[in-house]
Structure 1
Amino acid sequence: MEGSSNLSQYNLSDNLEINYNVTSSSKLTLRETTFNNRILLKLEEDEFTTPDEKAKVLIKEISELEYLYSLKLLFENPINRFSPKILRDSLVALSDPDSFDYYDVQSVARLELHLRTWVAVLEQICFTQMRLSKELRDKVYNSLSRFAEIHRKTTRVMQEGIDNKKL
């Protein structure tokens, strides 16, 4: 393990420094992936500097895979902190299964990415001082069964084929 890993440091600001082990077989780090993401870089250029500002823009385009991936990266970055309102808005947007009303070759990937982003938001909520209303919790729980059904249908459609001859 001595030859395959080393300790790397990134000084992200004057106050914050992250240390982690890098193995020779590891892919891009979260930091590199986040900073190389075209959409997140564009948001920085457009002066959307806070995680809340970026998330607000990305939520509006949540049906686009590139934006959904950028949102996932944003929420998975342990440095980012979000306001309860942005977390709530993201949770509501991701709990809505209405964008899964058609099937294409990317349906499985889109569904997986959507669910992973949803989990990243839920993890952020767990570490934020906020409490969801019973109505919102119920809405989130109820949407889980809808996403399970979407998964079953998507799997079946992909096995049958996605051409329109099966209508």
Structure 2
Amino acid sequence: MQPEKKLFTFDEIKQKLVNYCVYQDRCHAEVEQKMREFVLIPEAKEEIILYLLKENYLNEERFTRSYIRGKFYIKNWGKTKIKIHLKQKGITEKLITKCFDEIDNGDYLSIIEKIYENYFSKQKGLREYQKKSKTIKYLLSRGFEYENILQVIEN
């Protein structure tokens, strides 16, 4: 049995969604997911989305740029993993590619190097090639590209 949805006026719902967008940059999919919590007719949903867009509370490019910065500089994710997660949120390939200029190439390679050295040094009781292989797999799982990993290892 589904819990009873609380009823709000149109303006209250609109204000709740404004607050939701102000708290943190959101994409369309997140806002639409949040709207499912409320009882709304399709026209009201459309009107709220248009309002959020017009007042710049909802901005897909700003969301994408802040998402990329956060996942790279805070969580140290690679571009591949970031791209996959953004696609799951319904962001277009074109916009993702455009926004990847948020990541400085020098920073990107230095993060790979830092993670590589850190992870490699923690491997105990393994031969050199096993440590290297395990570390490369780890970096791939973090979303870094094989070519960039090799470039860092060779330098």
For Structure 1 versus Structure 2, the TM-score category normalised by the shorter chain is 0.3 to 0.5
Instruction: Name which structure has the greater RCO, CA cutoff 8 Å, separation 6+.
Output: 2
TM-score by length of 1: 0.32
TM-score by length of 2: 0.34
Higher-Rg structure is 2
- Bigger share in strand: 1
